[in-house]
Amino acid sequence: MTTVLVWAGVALIGGIGSVSRFLVDRTVTRRLARPFPVGTLAVNISGAALLGFLGGLALSKDAALLTGTAFVGAYTTFSTWMLETQRLGEERRTWAAVANIVVSVVLGVAAALLGQWLAERL
């Protein structure tokens, strides 16, 4: 049974994850200044690596909920990735839209595997 304290932790840690996403996306986007959504890509790849790492650890149910679901779930952003991809398509930047999908999936899976591999070595 999930306690009130765990639910409060999910709300707090989820908030921290979403603010972290905003800061990372903004920092990467400003530094690279590209029309391609590099900020979202950086967030989602780093989130995949972190979730793979957490998945490779023997965490309790509550710890997995707080770290994986609350933090990483709020940090990563599937919906923004899809919206940005759709907008690239609307702008007739088909290759950029396809690249956003392919690069995100390939690097995301690789990052998750790397994170899990690192955690298993601890």
Whole-model pTM: value is 0.92
Residue closest to 18 by CA, chosen among 80, 64, 71, 68: 71
pLDDT in tens, 50-67: 999 999 998 999 999 999
pLDDT of residue 35: 87
Return the pLDDT at 49.
98
Structurally, the chain folds into a number of domains equal to 1
- Residue 57's domain comprises 3-120
Q: Tell me whether residue 94 is annotated as binding.
A: no
At residue 34, the pLDDT reads 86
Question: According to the annotation, is 85 in a ligand binding site?
Answer: no
Which stretches of the chain drop beneath a pLDDT of 50?
none
